[in-house]
Structure 1
Amino acid sequence: MEAASMEEEGVDEQQQVMREVHLRCQPRFSVPYISHFSFSLPHDSLSERFSNSSNGERHSSCQIGLDEDGDLVLARRKKQSFNHILSIQHKIISSIPSVGLQVWRAALVLADFILHKVSTSSDFDGFSSLELGAGTGFVSIALASCAKVVFVTDIGTEILDNCVFNAHVNSNVFKYQENSIRVRELDWRKAWPPDIRSTSDLQTLDRYKYSWTSSDIKEAEESSILLAADVIYIDDLTDSLFNILEKLMSCGSEKVLYLALEKRYNFSLNDLDVVANGYLHFKSYLKSEEECKTLLERGSSCFVGKLIDLDEVPKYVTEYERGEDLEIWQIMYRRSRNITKNW
């Protein structure tokens, strides 16, 4: 969350917040806490990614034998469940500007979606990805096992340092090369592409360690998959998000955004009802395919949103409860040919 955005919205920067994900943790305010999130993978295809076998061979548990009459007996294959642990360093309680140091439920449901995709298809294999507002890096780490490169982006040195730590401690579990995760700072209020630094600056000057190189920009623009979790809670920040999405999704290869959110309800004096204003503002950016077709014919571009059915996404991560307030949206940007770039 940006300080400027909070100031405009009248948000108290010193207000302390805590998510129910951390209710079982001891209340240490300033010291980072490491939580261990377990997930079960019943699919051979994904389990092999995390196996310690060096030869990559699949061993069958199905045994063949003969009964007393000499007939062939095939033992039924037992369904196996492979349990893994993802360790995440986070804060239990944080001020609002530092909410990226906490783990949020939307990140967990988006991780479920990614684990399901990776374990049942090759949709994400070998693609480059970029996560917006990555927080602890939970979602990007879940994807790193099959992606070519994952750009993990957020703002603030403390949050980005924490992403680097979490990527390092989980590299052995998810079997990815650490250099396949690139932690970069991305301020949504600024123009895309971000300021560029030389590789030598990133290696020698600490203040530039999360800056972008020209090769980073080129590869990020060729990313096919964009990710975001729990970035919808302040209208000004939502406006900034869609502003940078419009620019980023207009560059390079065609992109699809998977955005997970948690609807937050408050009592509105204007409506005299409990409403999710932040969610409604987010929805105002999204059009159906039919609505978008009409806008394109009129020379306007648009975002097309499709709500993903979470009943079709198994719950792999065990340490959270799903509810009707959690959603995942698939979002694409349709750009009118009559619009020219001005950035």
Structure 2
Amino acid sequence: MEDSEIEVMSEIHLGCPPATTGPILSRFTLSVPGHCISVDKDGDLLLPRRNSRRKIDCPSAQSFTLTIQHCIASTLRDVGLQVWKAQLLLSEFVLHKMCTSSQLHATVCLELGAGTGLLGILLARVAKAVFLTDHGDDILGNCAHNVEMNSSLFNPQAVVNVRDLDWMSQWPNNLDIHGDCRDPQKYCWSSQDFEQVKSASFIFAADVIYSDDLTIALFSMLKRVMSFGCEKVLYLGLEKRYNFSMDDLNVVANGYACFRSYIKEDGLCEQEERSFLGRRIDITQIPQYIKGYDRGEDVELWEIKYVH
């Protein structure tokens, strides 16, 4: 059996009854504290007055439920059809940021390896535009279906786009920018899409570090994406995945080692070349808004910039 045909299962789904046919629906109920901030249409803070009777609407300060269609298991090629642990952690980080600052409000956001779309659906509660990107018709179709199912949760101004992005390609290119995008099933890019992504302040990615080839392609893509338009910050969630290495005769996390080879820690960035400068975020400071899963000790969250 080829590696691409080996079935894998996210730890999130352990203990679930196996799906007999096709995908299943899971409902994620998120309950956030009532002390969330509120902002106006310009992104300015709305501070409640002591004697004011006006109710301040905060899109995050309430309980709400996301419905996600996903698979219990998949081949390695289709892991984007599952929900993974670091995706949940990054979603909680985004939700916490939405509750404690206006940083994500009215922004343009790009997600790489969006998978089921869970994170992008959360972003659409406050962002101006969200681009959910992945590769493969089945994954993109499932992501688009989840976006449609949860559209009632978006802020009225949000535009959510599901787009195909192959990290092995030289995106952007003429085919992407000027292709025939009249068929929504093609998930292709228009020139307007590309111009809007230039203004994206934030990039998100979760559970995309598990093979050297994919990690190398990811950072090649990031060099291009983070070099055009405005300054961009990447928030990346990952889980260390261990395997036995015959070369090392030990259990190692080779994918994580490949990732770290691209990252220079804060304060150690060499000024003579462009580098990825990373800061590991203390996840103990992020409340666990999504119940029913164990973060464990091998999940990390990074803030990464591409700097001189």
TM-score relative to the length of structure 2: 0.88
2:233, 2:79 → 1: CA distance? 26
Residue pairs, 1:1-343, within 5 angstroms: 12-45=3-36, 57-58=54-55, 82-172=62-152, 174-177=153-156, 180-194=159-173, 195-196=175-176, 201-203=180-182, 205=183, 209-292=186-269, 295-297=270-272, 300-335=273-308
Aligned residue identity for 2:279: K
Contact 1:168 1:178 (C-alpha < 8 Å) held by counterparts = no
Aligned residue identity for 1:111: S
1:17–1:256 Cα change, 3 Å: same
Aligned length: 291
Superposition deviation, residue 241 in structure 1: 0.3
* Uncovered stretches (5+) of structure 1, i.e. residues with no partner: 1-9, 50-55, 60-80, 336-343
1:12, 1:40 → 2: CA distance? 40
Contact 1:29 1:92 (C-alpha < 8 Å) held by counterparts = no
3-state DSSP class of the match of 1:240?
helix
1:183, 1:48 → 2: CA distance? 27
Contact 1:47 1:82 (C-alpha < 8 Å) held by counterparts = no
Superposition deviation, residue 160 in structure 1: 0.7
2:13, 2:20 → 1: CA distance? 12
1:120–1:141 Cα change, 3 Å: same
2:285, 2:69 → 1: CA distance? 30
RMSD: 2.3
Q: Residue 7 of structure 1 corresponds to which residue in structure 2?
A: none
2:93, 2:226 → 1: CA distance? 22
Q: Give me the identity figure in percent.
A: 46
2:74, 2:92 → 1: CA distance? 25
1:185–1:287 Cα change, 3 Å: same
Aligned residue identity for 2:239: E
Superposition deviation, residue 161 in structure 1: 0.9
1:46, 1:290 → 2: CA distance? 32
Contact 2:125 2:158 (C-alpha < 8 Å) held by counterparts = no
Superposition deviation, residue 44 in structure 1: 4.2
1:266, 1:103 → 2: CA distance? 21
TM-score relative to the length of structure 1: 0.79
Aligned residue identity for 1:241: L
